[in-house]
Amino acid sequence: MPAHTHDDIDWADRLAQLRMADALDAEALAPVARRLVAGVAERPTIVDVGCGAGGMSVLFARELARRGGGTVVLVDATPELLAEAERAVTEAAAGAVEVVGIAADLADPELARQVPGADLGWASGVVHHVGDQQAALRTLAGLLRPGGMLAIAEGGLEIRCLPWDLGVGRPGLEQRLLAARGEWFARMRARVAGSVAMPYGWPRALREAGLEDVESFGTLIDHPMPGSNLLREYVVHRVGWLADSAGEWLDADDRAVLASLTDPRSPDFLGRRDDLFLFGAKAFHCGRLR
């Protein structure tokens, strides 16, 4: 098994949160999957690097089944995530699409020797966990067959889910929590082995990786209040994860409020509120190998 490259993040521990995010994002991302699949050959091979729980590849598999078939190759370095992705995508494929799972890591420059050539390469929220992001994009571009497309999901607008005033603690907790997460992210990037600055945006980075016809687009993630039980459960997981990872950049009062908000025994427990929501945007960047 290759070494995991995602610093000190326990991705297996986040599996439940990833599953919930996949379910909540599916409606917004289905048109993205349709758009990307429409841009490649019939019966294509799609390679999802850092597939997580498999949410996007479930949508790819459904599109391929609708178009007459193809192959989805799932790549991840965390065994628990790879197994869940294989299960979910195989179920969605319903025998109409071939599903292949490969234990491998984007940080491995020899990744192209481990996976088949791709008509469409996909990587969502993965490149920024690799020390040399530009090298990682070159590795991803190296997976493509001539004429193939690489699409990445990076950036966008940070998800918001909490009212400004929660009735406990100082208003504006979510803004402070997201600012703390920004500090955590900067430290995470600095600590990744072989970290290299990339002081330009993703479209230029794709061109630097040798791709042409580069474009960017986005989609909204919008679940208005009061929201579903799934949304409330996800918000509890998300806020708890942000508090655990970035809490050291918050003051003691905010940390105490977060502990109360994520404790099912507390009168302030988020899971009992009817005013939670999800609103944000995902950004996608793609280019083609000519």
Tens-level pLDDT at each residue, the chain (290 residues): 333 444 567 888 989 999 999 999 999 999 999 999 999 999 999 999 999 999 999 999 999 999 999 999 999 999 999 999 999 999 999 999 999 999 999 999 899 999 999 999 999 999 999 999 999 999 999 999 999 999 999 999 999 999 999 999 999 999 999 999 999 999 999 999 999 999 999 999 999 999 999 999 999 999 999 999 999 999 999 999 999 999 999 999 999 999 999 999 999 999 999 999 999 999 999 999 99
| Separation of alpha carbons 113 and 169, rounded Å | 53
Containing H/E element for 221?
strand 212-223
Q: Quick one: three-class SS letters along 118-154?
A: EEEEEEECCHHHCCCHHHHHHHHHCCEEEEEEEEEEE
Q: Which residue has tokens 């599903």?
A: 99
pLDDT at residue 11, rounded to an integer: 85
β-strand partners of 124? 153
**239/241 Cα distance (integer angstroms):** 5
The DSSP letter of residue 248 is G
pLDDT in tens, 103-134: 999 999 899 999 999 999 999 999 999 999 99
The amino acid at 100: V
pLDDT of residue 93: 96
For the chain, the average pLDDT equals 95
Give this prediction's pTM: 0.94
SS3 content of the chain, % helix, strand, coil (to 5): 45, 20, 35
Q: Given this model, what pLDDT does residue 9 score?
A: 79
The pLDDT score that the predictor gives to residue 7 is 52
Helix/strand/coil (H, E, C) string of 60-122?
HHHHHHHHCCCEEEEEECCHHHHHHHHHHHHHHHCCCCEEEEEECCCCCCCHHHCCCCEEEEE
Collapsed DSSP state (helix, strand, coil) of residue 42: coil
Q: Which amino acid is at 276?
A: L
